[in-house]
Each structure stands twice: as structure tokens, then as C-alpha cells.
Structure 1
Amino acid sequence: MSALLSRRPLGHAVLALVLAAPALSLTGCAAPAAAQRGLPPDFADLAERVLPAVVNIAVTTEQRQQELPPELRGTPFERYFRDRQRNRRQEVSGAGSGFVIDPAGYIVTNNHVVGNASRVVVALQDGSELQARVVGTDDLTDLALLKVESRSALTSVTWGVSAQARVGSWVVAAGNPFGLGGTITSGIVSARGREIGAGPFDDFIQTDAAINPGNSGGPLFNAAGEVIGINTAIYSPSGASAGIGFATPSDLARPVIEQLRRDGRVERGWLGVAVQDLVPGDGRNARRGVLVAGIERNSPAGRAGLRQGDIVVAINGDRVDTSRALVRSVAAVPPGHTLRLTVVRDGRERELPVQVGRRPGQG
């Protein structure tokens, strides 16, 4: 299986999901007190404590049978081809990483690791294997929650607060790059709030800790051994680590995982509008806000009386300056609930109550 699933080209490099065949795993870490005294950091104690909670995830996906080539239709070879394909099931194997968040057997990983897998097997650090059930997935944040049944309680790790991570703070990625299990790499938080074109909820932590094929779904730890991110993608000209990796922050991941555990799916609010940023000096308005560029027919926004050209400046009284902030704020509102939009129309502010709908594709 190929080592990487490409997302999009970026210059001469490739932004890719760090998905590999043998196994993907990462683990985060940070600098102990020794580093603060000017000594080289030592991650031995941290690695010993957290590695038992990092797992390998092996998946098997059934591949659709090959379709009959058009040039064979109506020829004597058509029957021969169909006979060969009958009862023939092709399977594709892959692997990734994850981490245990509950001793009862709940495991977090990336959605792209499990995909449409027909079989998921989790391997613990002691070599034992457990068949896993997919509790739920969320493609917009590329997260998935698995459940395994174990006779004994599993070693687990705890969530940290990613908002407290500072640029320059030590982190460690641990897992199974290129199938080499039980591996850790260290680095720092290189940047925060990165948007890489993965989706509307991009808010990645960038790190220079080596992340390679086989690391997808693994945790990124802070110095206290808390999970502050889930390693998801790399920016690479060669397919291997170039010192630029991206992790989904824990503050974004944790509520998604909690909803998957509770409901098996994630429901997000939706208005049905196309929006774009509006900044001072663009000729439309002297204030910040979000321009309503279009409204879908029979959408919640349309039924509430929102119009194309309106400028949204607040949601429930809280100022909103960017389209990304508006999308995230609305998505956080459960479908069926009502929010209050403050909009500027014809130079005057007015408030519109809008009953939030369910984001399309969520049932």
C-alpha cells in the first residue's frame, strides 16, 4: 500500500495524510525540567509512561470488483470476465495509529485511518491484538472513535488544553512510522492556527517533531504527558518528514470525540448561506463583519429573512469578524436551536432570530 494519501500540492511539496501500510502512530512529548536548566531534554520517563496507551491500528477494506471494460461488452470475452470476477473479493490492507482515552477500551484515531474498513484490529504495545468496533467518525475534523473489549483495563492518557500550548514549547510524537512500532520523536510547537485547506474547521498545530507515514491518528503530547493534538498530515516534497507536521488540536477534537461516544455521530448547525470576509477599506463598509454572498433556497437563513448583501457583525451578541468564525459558531449550535444574528442592512443594525438547521449529509 502506498505510504501517503495526498491531499493537495503546495508548491513543489505535497500535503499528505500520514497513512501507511505497516502502521501509523505518533506521540507527543515536551521538555522536562532539565531542559529548563539548559540541559538537553530527556523524554525517557514520559515515553515510558505514555507509550503503553499508543496503539497500532490495522484495517482491511473490501475493494469493489473490477467493472467490465466497455470494449468487452457483447463479445465472447464478456462471460469469461464475469466468471472470473464472480465470488472474487479483493481486500486492501492499511494501518494507522491511535491512543486509548479510557481504560474501558475507547480509542481515538483519524477518520482517514479507518475509512470504510470492513475489519479493524488494534495492537497494543505488549503485542496483543483486539478486534475493534467503529463507534463513530467525523470527516470534517478527520476524527474517529473506536471501541475494543479487553479482559483488563487498558492504559490510557488524558486530554490537555491545546490553547495553552505556546509556540516554542516542546512536544513529542510517538508511534509506528514506516511500521517501526514504539517510536517517539521530539520537537517544538512551530505555529498554531494553521489552515491547510483540509476543511472548514482547519485550526492545526504545526510541529517540527518528525511525523512520517505510519503516524496518522497518534497523539501529540505536551510536557505533562497530556494529549494536545492528533497527528494528521505532513507537508513533504518526498513523502517523508520535512520537519512540518500538522496535528488537530485537542480543544477541537475533544468535544467531537465526546459527541461520537454519546451519539455515534456529530450533528452541526447550518444556516445555508455563502459568506465571505469583509474588512475595512474594501469599499463596502468601514466596519468588520461577514458578508452574506448568497442564500440557499428554503434554507434556515432564507426563512429567517436574511438577505444577500447583509453584513453579519454578531451572533448572540458576540462579535464575529471572519467567515470561518461564523461557520464554527453556527456549527456549535445544535440543530433546532435558535440563535440571534446582528446584521447591518442599508447602514442600520437589526437583529434576526434564526432557527438553526442540520448540516446537509448528517441525516
Structure 2
Amino acid sequence: MKKISGLFFVAMLGGATTLGAYKLIFDNDKPSSALSVAPPINFTRTVGLGPEAVDFTEAADKAIHTVVHVKNVSYTTVPSNPMLEFFYGYRGGQQQAQVGTGSGVIITEDGYIVTNNHVVQNASELEVTLNNNKSYKAKLVGTDSKMDIALLKVETSDKLPYATFGNSDDIKVGEWVLAVGNPYNLTSTVTAGIVSAKARNLSKDGIQSFIQTDAAVNPGNSGGALVNTRGELIGINTMISSMTGSYVGYSFAVPSNITRKIIEDIMEFGNVQRGVLGVQGGELNSAASKELGINETQGFYVNSVVKDSGAEKAGIKKGDIIIKIDERPISGFSDLNAAIVTKRPNDVVKVGIRRNGKDLTVPVKLSKNEIYSYSGLELEDLSPAEKKRFNIDYGVKIKDITDQQYMPYYEELKDGIILSVNNVKAKDIETVSKLLSDKSPNDRVRVEMLTRNGQIVRFIM
């Protein structure tokens, strides 16, 4: 009888512990303010709980009402063909509509919506449909092609349900997450998985910093929400890694902290403000460390420091190894970028460096990234040598091209010098950025450009 009583007591104690853990992990009071951020306390750790102990219903119910279906309508002109017109009555020269679809996330009750740049690219018309089947015409407010983020706005007198931003820096590898979107036009689809990796970089320039998950994401999910088990937005689903174009086990999302910073910049400045540390180098591994003659195999090795940058003014030198940014460990370049990409020019960061075996911490004031992005073109000021070479005293250079629509003209545009925008002389980056920041992303812009071969060309952007 004593054994039975003991077993009953243990069972009751185990049940109370489980209920207490459930209450601690999943209870949540969502802030009501627009663009609100979740409390910094991390309630999402579920160490020791199996899949059967996790309930996603509350998180899914919150998220599906904030995720919208995005329809992108663009028009192309069908080329004329006299032979087909004569024999078959085919008529060229007419406009043909092309329709693309994706997802988006409502982030304010008055109708701001975040999605992917590639979902709305080249759109002539944009329409969003809510989970309650109400549809609205949408206006493109601004984009960041490098991070593949776009901001839309719908006009409505209704107060819309919106997502609460979580802190993407607090998520853990192995944490449960949900992907919510409209794959293959199947609205309000929810899939579950775990965070597979953080600060994943997939681009050649190293600027991107994705959350990798194994939640199933397919075409149409782009621009949808990645949420934690409390339904807080921790990422915008962006892409999959697949040879077939469909999900095979890996999907990637732009972290919510980066997304939030981008859309706040677009709202306030009209473009994305990027701060730079002012160092060049590479991440360490066994091979690199052996070649450099050092013992450390983790961190960012400083090979050179940009003149007049915040790093130079703070005393960072060649040979230093950056191991922390604001107490955030830095294992390589993706970690370094993830720590800086949410900052703005003139922000001060605490940089932990290892120099000759000793650890130091120095404050660094971030300088302004002098590269200006517009419609998939990366622009920068001309150097004195370039002005002398082309015998000009003004203009801005097309440093790089990030938008697929320009790839057929890559050779003509790359390293070209923009001389004027809408018949206004392009004196420098500041002048050009002011001219373009007043334009809607759908506006046509007349550009006069000097190619690297010395030819003057004019085109519409």
C-alpha cells in the first residue's frame, strides 16, 4: 500500500511539473503597439520536452491572421510577327499580363506589410488578400534588394491584425519554429520545424545573414512569417536550397531584427542606412591560421583597416582578431555581419579583439557605407583616378548589380558612370540619393551613363 501511495505521489508531482512547464513556456501577453517588440525574457527553451509535449495551436492561430497572400501583376509586350499575323491572325505588339504570387506579413494595424523584394519585383499592380478573404490594392513603399525585403502599404479604415516582432538574436539552434504562408496558392498553410543554424550566409558579398530551418517552405511561402512557439515574428521566409525548386530539407529566413531595422529605415529615410566597421580581412580556420602563423582558429582576422574609418580611429590594427561585438561571440564573417547589419552610421559598438594573445575591448563609431543601393544597382562615388581617366569632374559609378532584371545588360552596366538622373547632373552619391529617394519604386527614371568603354548611353530605369 505504501508503494502504491508513493507511486501516486510521484505521478502527481510529475503532472504538476509538466503543467507548470507548459504554463511557463507557452503563456504570453502580446503587446498592442504597432511594430512592437517581444519582452526580452526568453521563454522558448523546451529542453527535455519531446514533440508530443509541444502545442503549436496558439502560435499558429496568432500567425495565420497576420499573414497575407500577395499577387504581383506585371505586363510585357508581345513582339510582332508578320508571318504569324498573316497566316494565323496572331497579333503582336499587345501587352500580356503575368501573375506571380507570394506571401506577406502585416506589421501595423494601419496596413504596413513586409514581404520579399523578389515577390513584388517589376510589379505593375499589387494586391493583397487577408486571411478573412478581404482584398486590397497595395502600394510599394520601398525595397532592399540585398536583403530581399520590401515594404507595402494598403489603405483601409479597418484595424488589421498584425504580428509582434520577437528578438531573433535570442533564438536557439534546435528551437521549435513555425513557417506560415501560401505555398502553391494554398492559403494559411502552417509547417513546423526547428532552427537548424543561425547567421547563415548564401551570397558572394557576405552581407546576408539567414536563419536556417527545416520547416517545410515551398514556392509561394516567400515573404511569409517564421514565428516562435508564442507566435512572435522572428523571421521572413525568403528561400529554399533545392535542385528541384521544391523543399528538400532546408529553408532560410531573414531575421526579424534585420527586417525591422530595414523597414524602419525605409519609413524614416526612404532607403536603408548601413553602418560599416571599416575593416577588411577574412574568417579563420585551421588552414588560414597555419598560413598566418597564429593559433586561433575562430574569429575575424583583420588584414587591413580602411583609412579614416571608425576602426582606424579606435586603434584597430592589421593582425587583430575580432572575437566579439557587443559581447556577441564572433566566429567568422557571417557573425560579424549579423552583428553590424542591424546598426546605423554613427552607432557605437564595443569590439572585442585579440592582439598578441591579449584580449582588448575598444568602442568603435560606425562610419557611413558610401555605397548607395537603388533598384538593384550598387552606386559609389568616383575616385580621383577614375575622374582623371574619363576626363570628367562628376558622376557616380555602378559598382555592382544585384537585381536579376539587369543581368542581360551586366557587361554594359558594370563599372558604368551615371552622369545624370532625370536630366539633373549626378554630382555625387549624396545628390543621386536625394534625387532617387523621392521616387516611388515603380516610377520610371531617365539615366544618362558613360560606359567603361567611353560610350554615352541613355536608358529608362
TM-score, length-scaled by structure 1: 0.70
Residue in 1 that maps onto 2:66? 53
In structure 2, the residue matched to 1:173 is 179
Q: Give the residue type in structure 1 aligned to 2:67.
A: V
Partner of 1:281: 290
Q: Which has the higher strand share?
A: 1
Q: CA deviation at 1:162?
A: 1.8
For 1:204 and 1:310, the matched residues in 2 are separated by: 29
Max Rg structure: 2
Number of aligned positions between the proteins: 315
Distance in 2 of aligned mates of 1:189 and 1:340: 28
1:270–1:335 Cα contact (<8 Å) kept: yes
TM-aligned CA deviation for residue 342 of structure 1 = 10
Tell me if 1:148 matches 2:161: no
CA shift for structure 1 position 253: 1.8
1:102 aligns with 2:113: no
Instruction: For 1:236 and 1:160, locate their aligned partners in 2 and report how far apart those are by CA, in whole Å.
Output: 28
Name the counterpart of 1:358.
369
Q: Deviations 1:11-31 (Å, cap 9, x if unpaired)?
A: xxxxxxxxxxxxxxxxxxx99
Query: Which residue does the alignment assign to 2:15?
Result: none
Aligned pairs for 1:178-193 within 5 A = 178-193=184-199
Q: CA deviation at 1:359?
A: 3.3
Q: Give how far 1:130 is off.
A: 0.9
CA distance in 1, matches of 2:301, 2:257: 24
Instruction: Give, in angstroms, the shift of residue 260 of structure 1.
Output: 1.8
Kept after mapping to 2: 8 A contact 1:312/1:342 = no
Aligned 8 A contact 2:173 2:195 in 1: yes
Instruction: For structure 2, list consecutive stretches of 5 or more residues without a partner in the other structure.
Output: 1-42, 374-432, 434-461
| Offset at residue 164 of structure 1 (A) | 2.3
Asked if the contact 2:200/2:208 (under 8 Å) is kept, the reply is yes
Distance 1:258 1:194, change over 3 A: same
Return the alpha-carbon distance in structure 1 between the equivalents of residues 108 and 342 of structure 2: 25
Kept after mapping to 1: 8 A contact 2:71/2:100 = yes
| Alignment partner of 1:133 is 2:144 | no
Tell me if structure 2 keeps the 8 A contact 1:138–1:144. yes
Contact 2:166 / 2:256 at 8 angstroms: preserved in 1? yes
How far is 1:106 from its partner? Answer: 0.8
C-alpha root-mean-square deviation of aligned residues, in Å?
4.5
Structure 1: tracts of 5 or more residues without a match: 1-29
Q: Which has the higher contact order (CA 8 A, sep 6+)?
A: 1
Q: Distance in 2 between matches of 1:164 and 1:316?
A: 15
Deviations 1:51-93 (A, max 9, x none): 1111011112344775x9xxx9xxx99xx9xxx765x434432
Question: Could you list the per-position Cα deviations for residues 231-277 of structure 1 after superposition, in whole angstroms to 9, with x for gaps in the alignment?
Answer: 11112232222121111121222212221222221021357875333
- Corresponding residue of 2:270: 264
CA distance in 1, matches of 2:236, 2:62: 18
Distance 1:52 1:336, change over 3 A: closer
Distance 2:278 2:215 in 1: 39
Looking at structure 2, the residues matched to 316 and 44 of structure 1 have their Cα atoms a distance apart, in angstroms, of 37
Whichever structure has more helix as a proportion of its residues is 2
Is the partner of 2:64 in helix, strand or coil?
helix
- In structure 2, distance between residues paired with 1:179 and 1:124: 13
Instruction: Confirm or deny: 8 A CA contact 1:232 1:246 kept in the other structure.
Output: yes
Is contact 2:235–2:255 with CA below 8 Å preserved after alignment?
Answer: yes
Work out whether residues 270 and 359 of structure 1, in 8 Å CA contact, stay in contact via their aligned partners in 2.
no
TM-score (norm 2): 0.56
Q: 1:252 aligns with which of 258, 261, 268?
A: 258
Q: Is the 8 A contact 1:172 1:186 kept in 2?
A: yes
Q: Secondary structure at the match of 2:239?
A: strand
d(CA) in 2 for partners of 1:64, 1:284: 60
Give % identity.
34
Question: What does the per-residue CA deviation read over 1:89-145, in whole Å, with 9 as the maximum and x for residues that have no partner?
Answer: 344321110111110111111111112322211111111111111121112211111
1:206 corresponds to 2:212: yes
Q: In the TM superposition, what are the counterparts of 1:30-41 in structure 2 within 5 Å?
A: 36=49, 39=52, 41=54
